[in-house]
Structure 1
Amino acid sequence: MPAKFRMSRRGVGQLLKSPMVEAEMLRRAHVIKGVAESISPVGDPAHDPHPGLYKASWHVTSTRRGGRRRDRATATVYNTAPHGGIVEVGTERIPGRHVLLRAAAIGGR
């Protein structure tokens, strides 16, 4: 006789907000942060007034009230360097390095 499974929506919701899911999201975020730090560009000290600032500005946060409907655990990797957005996506003259995008693709497993 085959086994039967009955899903509990409330149980799945509790699982998505659980400390163990938040811990796994945080673990993955720290792996992505490590990859991002390792591939971050560092400016030449002869020309850059703040060499290494971008590389040193990676941070991770987590919450159990994330997502669009605030119903699941999430973790966020972000950079606080003032020029972080320009390094990531670039401008019309400077091509983007896509550091966070590449780090998520490499280390997000």
Structure 2
Amino acid sequence: MAARFRMSNRGVGQLLNSALISGEMLRRAEVIKGVAEAISPVGGPGDPHPGNYKRSWYARVERKAVGRSRKRRPVGVVGNSAYYARWAEFGTEKVRAHHVLLRAAAAGGR
């Protein structure tokens, strides 16, 4: 006879806040960061700061309120600290959008 499973809400909460989950969130963020670094534009000879955008990617785990309960859970965060990162991602009227983070997340978050 098979045993019955009884879920414990407190146990699930403890699992979601465990080092195991935090580690997995960081691993996935690092994978996305790696893809973003690989596909980042570097700039040509006239670029005053070539490679700065590519070097400015970071990955970390933050505890954020998620879901309807708004409980704080570990979340993987990938970003770029270059001041012009949003323009590289979304473009301007003079520069085409590169969508580096969008493409990296679509390709590497597994």
The two structures share one fold, judged by TM-score above 0.5:
yes
Q: Does 1:5 align with 2:9?
A: no
Specify the SS of the correspondent of 2:93.
Answer: coil
Distance 2:57 2:71 in 1: 24
Equivalent in the alignment of 1:21: 21
Specify the SS of the correspondent of 2:77.
Answer: strand
Quote the RMSD (CA, aligned, Å): 1.4
Equivalent in the alignment of 1:79: 80
- Amino acid in the other structure paired with 1:57: S
CA contact (8 A) 1:16 1:71 kept: no
Bigger CA drift: 93-102 or 35-44?
Answer: 93-102
Report the number of matched residues. 107
Q: How does 1:34-73 map to 2 (within 5 A)?
A: 34-45=34-45, 47-63=46-62, 65-68=63-66, 69-73=70-74
Report how far residue 95 of structure 1 moved: 2.5
| TM-score relative to the length of structure 2 | 0.89
Percent pairwise identity: 59
- Amino acid in the other structure paired with 1:21: I
Report how far residue 2 of structure 1 moved: 4.3
Distance 2:96 2:71 in 1: 35
Q: Any gaps of 5 or more consecutive residues in structure 2?
A: none
Q: Any gaps of 5 or more consecutive residues in structure 1?
A: none
CA deviation map 1:56-84 (0-9, x unaligned): 00011213x32332421112111001110
| TM-score relative to the length of structure 1 | 0.90
Distance 2:71 2:85 in 1: 27
Q: Does 1:89 align with 2:87?
A: no
